[in-house]
């Protein structure tokens, strides 16, 4: 009878994944093994114009997330007073004085348009979703309003942050989860991306074409965002781009990652997703 392995450290890995661990050790000095966990990040931006914008749902006309350097992301609330009692799961990271990120998952119960305070304040908020209740597979009810996770810059009005840049991740009304093609990687992990796709998801697409790419930035050292890989050209009326990476793309520990895009002309809705494996430092 086969035993289910609790760790996959000793599995016979495909060459690309095994070689990625070798590159991590040679480049960053970290000996790693793959966790029993994968990571998929997906998101959309319905109004991408001719300037570079993150493919994520952010408040109002906010194009890109404003990153904070301390743990001040401390609350969630809904734009609707009807959203009460739902439990929201928030995935994110805390940061220490040295700039090291630590992954945190926590629950918070919505209290309508009143701020529900997070148990653990964060420096990064990357994903939110309505927690299932009852039997396995139970589908949670859609939210009535937009649910925001934010820092307290400027406070809130009717459940919505007064300063749009304070919102770090949100769930749109009528949905049960956020869509944010951006995340952060903790100081103990590496993300080995194997698959990527992007598409213009509205009926007409951009006027001309859209350009999409992935970017990373070192959290402790800051600095400019750096493109990784090639630019992906998305044409209106044509199927989107799908890419299988061999060798895989390595996102280092303690880095922010995002997908950005811009249109040659006009405005378009752009979607993207990336998936891969998480490796942790031994």
The pLDDT tens digits of the residues spanning 164-174 come to: 999 999 999 99
CATH for the 15-56+183-281 domain, from 2.60.120.1330, 2.60.40.10, 2.40.70.10, 3.40.50.720: 2.60.120.1330
Express each pLDDT in 89-136 by its tens digit. Answer: 999 999 999 999 999 999 999 999 999 999 999 999 999 999 987 666
pTM, to two decimals: 0.94
Q: Measuring CA to CA, which residue among 257, 59, 69 is closest to residue 162?
A: 59
With residues binned 3-state (H G I as helix, E B as strand, rest as coil), the percentages for the chain, rounded to 5, are 5, 55, 40
**pLDDT recorded at residue 3:** 43
Q: Cα dihedral sign for 83, 138, 42, 120?
A: positive
Residues of the chain with CATH 2.60.120.1330: 15-56+183-281
* CB 206 within 8 Å of CB 46: no
Query: What is the distance between the alpha carbons of residues 167 and 162, in angstroms, rounded to a whole number?
Result: 9
**pLDDT recorded at residue 147:** 98
Residues of the chain predicted below pLDDT 70: 1-11, 134-137, 203-206
What residue spans of 77-200 are helical by DSSP H? none
Could you tell me whether strands 116-122 and 73-78 are parallel, antiparallel, or unpaired per DSSP bridges?
Answer: antiparallel
* CB 118 within 8 Å of CB 75: yes
**pLDDT recorded at residue 4:** 41
**pLDDT recorded at residue 252:** 98
């Amino acid at each position: 009878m086969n035993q289910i392995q609790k760790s996959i450290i000793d599995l016979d890995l495909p060459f690309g994944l095994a070689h990625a661990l070798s590159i991590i050790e040679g480049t960053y000095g970290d000996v790693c093994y793959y966790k029993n966990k994968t990571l998929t990040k997906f998101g959309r931006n319905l109004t991408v114009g001719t300037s570079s914008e993150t493919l994520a749902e952010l408040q109002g006309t906010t194009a890109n997330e404003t990153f904070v350097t301390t743990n001040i992301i401390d609350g969630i609330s809904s734009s609707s007073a009807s959203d009460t009692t739902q439990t929201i799961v928030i995935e994110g990271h805390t940061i220490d004085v040295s700039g090291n990120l630590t992954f945190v998952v926590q629950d918070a119960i919505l209290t309508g348009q009143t701020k529900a305070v997070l148990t653990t304040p964060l420096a990064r908020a990357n994903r939110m979703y309505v927690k299932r209740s009852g039997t396995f597979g139970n589908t949670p009810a859609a939210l009535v309003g937009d649910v925001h996770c934010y820092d307290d810059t400027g406070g809130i009005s009717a459940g919505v942050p007064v300063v749009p840049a304070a919102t770090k991740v949100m769930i749109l009304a009528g949905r049960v989860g956020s869509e944010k093609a951006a995340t952060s990687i903790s100081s103990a992990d590496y993300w080995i991306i194997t698959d990527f796709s992007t598409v213009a998801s509205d009926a007409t697409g951009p006027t001309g074409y859209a350009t999409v790419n992935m970017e990373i930035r070192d959290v402790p050292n800051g600095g400019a965002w750096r493109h990784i890989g090639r630019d992906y050209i998305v044409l209106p009326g044509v199927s989107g781009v799908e890419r299988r990476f061999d060798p895989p793309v390595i996102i280092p520990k303690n880095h922010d990652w995002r997908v950005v895009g811009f249109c040659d002309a006009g405005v378009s809705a752009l979607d993207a997703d990336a998936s891969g494996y998480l490796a942790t430092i031994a």
